[in-house]
Amino acid sequence: MLTICLVAAVFVSACPGDAVVHPANSVNKGALEQYSSYLNTLSGCPIVVRIREARKYYFDHFSKSTQSDKDAAFVRYRAYYLDTIRRFNLGSFPVLAGSETLLPSPEDLKDCGMRILGSEGLLYLDETPEFLLETFGGHVSRSLRAFLKMKKDELSTISYSTVRNSATFLDVAKRCLGWEAYIGTYQKSLLMNEAMQCYEVYLSALLTGTVYTPVLGVGDVGRSAEERRKNLSVYEYVIKKEPKSRTARVVSEYIPVLKANDFSDTPALRAFCEKNELEFMYGYYTALGD
């Protein structure tokens, strides 16, 4: 959601799930095409109808299918579900706080896996952390369950009343390692491209920080000795926790560059990120941490 969270007030959870899918050879493409055609017929319906009917179709038509079909159909549903929320926000939101009558009822929101998030007096719809895992976890394969579990844990740190996030800089490091481990474990995951993009964003945030997880000084205000110590302790955690990981290797190479540049935004730091094909996320608002 795909450049993930690189613009102000965009959530990781808002990624529309447009990662390239690599369906297994045994997937019933005809059934998936019929599902897609059916989803297109829902375009003029209210958002709760669209999400409910898409979910109902999945269970009516794929609950007894092969595992490959269940997985492929779920990926199709998830992309539709997230894109439906995204399009609703673009077309109807944000609305002013106090205008909740313009939103689906609390019962509808819960049933359709949606919640309200607020920022500066404006309201947005977002997915609820547990919805996809609890609804589809028993029907999809292990790789997709693991993906949904990681997403649930990430979404759970986003407050219902603010775009601010309770995750810490250490959480960012753990998530970075988690996504790297996922990529190594589930190399045939249907959501591999999205997992790789999540990993790259977390690694970028780990190196340069964001508004919520600062690593570099802001303007003429440098990072204090205590702040630098905390950042370096997280890097040391990564190196000790998974010494053979790509994350540990990049962090190990980054520490001397960071120190040499006095924890400041410099061409040398940007060059390091470019060399490692990472986004320079300094100054971005994200949902990666607070």
Residue 225, in any domain of the structure: yes
Structural contact between residues 288 and 209, judged by C-beta atoms closer than 8 angstroms:
no
- Measure Cα distances from 84 to 39, 107, 127, 233 in Å: 11, 18, 11, 41
Residue written as token pair 């690694």 = 203
Cα–Cα distance for residue pair 71/68, rounded to 1 Å: 5
Q: Is residue 6 part of a domain?
A: no
Sequence-distant (6+) residues with CB within 8 A of 172 are: 202, 205, 206, 213, 234, 288, 289
Query: Contact at 8 Å (CB) between 112 and 42?
Result: no
Under 8 Å between Cβ of 184 and 195: no
Q: Assess if residue 267 is contained within a domain.
A: yes
Tokens 């450049």 identify what position?
3
SS3 8: coil
In whole angstroms, what is the distance from residue 243 CA to residue 236 CA?
10
Residue 168 lies in a domain: yes
In a domain, 111, yes or no: yes
Residue 270 exposed, middle or buried by CB count within 10 Å (0-12, 13-18, 19+): middle
- Asked whether residue 281 is domain-assigned, the answer is no
Query: Quick one: pLDDT at residue 222?
Result: 62
In tens digits, what is the pLDDT along the chain, a chain of 290 residues?
323 332 222 233 333 333 434 444 467 899 999 999 999 999 989 999 999 999 999 999 999 999 999 999 999 999 999 999 998 888 765 555 555 566 788 899 999 999 988 766 677 889 999 999 999 999 999 999 999 999 999 998 865 444 455 678 899 999 999 999 999 999 999 999 999 999 999 999 899 887 777 888 765 556 788 888 999 999 999 999 999 999 999 999 999 999 999 888 889 988 998 998 888 776 554 444 43
Domain total of the chain: 1
Kindly state the helix (H) or strand (E) to which residue 115 belongs, with its residue range: strand 114-119
What range defines the domain where residue 230 resides? 12-275
